[in-house]
Amino acid sequence: MSSMLTEVFLHTSVSSHSKILNMKRILNIMAAASAAAILASCSVDSQKVVVTNDSELSRDNETVELCFKALQKADKSLTAENVVVYDADGVQVPSQVYTEQDGKVKLLFQVTVDAGAVAEYVVKAGEREEYPMLAYSRHVPERMDDYAYENNRVAGRIYGPALEFPRTFGSDIWLKCTDRLVIDDWFKKMDYHHNYGEGMDCYKVGGTLGGGALVPYSAGENFVIGDNWASFQHICDGPVRTKAVFTYNAFDVDGVKYSASRTIELDANSHFVKSVTAFHPVEHDADSLDLVLGAIKHDVISRVDGENWIAFTEVASDTKQPEVDGNISVALIYDEAELADNPIKAIGDIAGHAAIITREAANKPITVWTGSGWSQAGFEYPEQWTVLVGDFAYAQANPLKVEVVK
């Protein structure tokens, strides 16, 4: 391309008309080169990914999952170290390959698609750029076995076996006003209840479900708060996702002992943590059980209940300066796909918690999302949070269609 541009400049005349003509030639050559680069990215060894958004909501930075082994079957040169994803302009899109607990290998990348539109991407072997880590989690033995997680928007933790109190399935919300990953620094300082400019922990959990968890509902009267996790397996970190799997020791629910398994998954650019939880009868058979998806309320200033979600905003609860530390927004979202056979029984309040009550089969993995936002990080008004939660719930109920074309 550079030699062609040189030739154009060598033949440029002094007249204005000639200059205009030559500029047009330059632009045409550049356009042709750009088109050639895009066509090259769709070579014989590449695979096109067509993402269709049939919904009325534009999607920004939404994660797409592909079976990596299927991609490798079509292109045997692909490896986790050389797989590259390009958008329609030939620009690399950060991607991540990881192996699930069951051995399935996934390729992840995030897409942006307008409402009612189609976006195309290309997967092929190449030289990967350096993608920043945006989703990270780890076991924190130096802080009583916490397991902490974060992305470039939010952070949080759940409690482990060394901690005597609280004993709970619940989660803690950490607030961030930076894209930087902070949990390692915050645990190193052990002073995260004060805001030094990047955020803080000012959300009070105690003996509650904290920022959200799915637990059994005992005899239709109160939820069983459960226990801290007993064991864990870290699955992945990366530019797109962090994920971990937890097991919980058996506890009693109306005379039946249940153990539990739970995955926690957080993607880059998201305010919502995905949890998949199953309750397993240990000593007796059990067909189903009532469940509560709940989050503790404090000084609530706004709340909206959707068909399968709750969004509320409250004053910072674990702080001596609530007027300085601002407002915390919380969300609970129940997967609409789970409700076809077992509709929501009620949305309301239980023991000071915002709650969604359902009945589900024992051993069935149930998907929910919990979310958090901060008035000092993009959610100055509760209405902004409500819109985001409603849009996110709508997006989960109307997933993007993804097709791989050789």
Q: Which of 33-37, 59-63, 71-75, 367-371 has the lowest mean pLDDT?
A: 33-37
Say what the pLDDT of residue 38 is. 44
Using CB atoms within 10 A of its CB, is residue 281 exposed (0-12), middle (13-18) or buried (19+)? middle
Residue type, 323: E
Question: For residue range 184-211, what is the model confidence (pLDDT) as tens digits?
Answer: 999 999 999 999 999 999 999 999 999 9
**pTM for the whole thing?**
0.88
Say what the pLDDT of residue 221 is. 78
Average pLDDT of span 290-299: 96
Say what the pLDDT of residue 44 is. 55
Say what the pLDDT of residue 322 is. 80
What is the 8-class DSSP label of residue 20?
A: H
What rounded mean pLDDT belongs to the chain?
A: 89
Question: For residue range 279-288, what is the model confidence (pLDDT) as tens digits?
Answer: 999 988 889 9
Using CB atoms within 10 A of its CB, is residue 230 exposed (0-12), middle (13-18) or buried (19+)? middle
Average pLDDT of span 3-27: 34
Burial 71-95, CB ≥16 within 10 A → b, else e: bbeebeebeeeebbbbbeebeebbb
Percent of the chain with pLDDT over 70: 89
Is 258 in contact with 283 (CB distance < 8 Å)?
no
- Pick 47-131's CATH classification: 3.30.465.10, 2.60.40.1180, 3.40.50.920, 2.40.50.140: 2.60.40.1180
Contacts of 293 (CB under 8 A, 6+ apart): 212, 213, 214, 332, 334, 355, 356, 358, 368
SS (HEC) of 119-142: EEEEEEECCCCCCCCCEEEEEEHH
What gap in Å lies between CA 399 and CA 401, rounded to an integer? 6
Distance (Å) of CA 283 to CA 246, 258, 261: 21, 8, 16
Question: For residue range 84-111, what is the model confidence (pLDDT) as tens digits?
Answer: 999 999 999 999 999 999 999 999 999 9
Using CB atoms within 10 A of its CB, is residue 175 exposed (0-12), middle (13-18) or buried (19+)? buried
Is 93 in contact with 61 (CB distance < 8 Å)?
no
Confidence category of residue 342, pLDDT binned at 50, 70, 90: confident
- Pick 135-398's CATH classification: 3.40.50, 3.40.30, 2.70.98, 2.60.120: 2.70.98
Say what the pLDDT of residue 318 is. 80
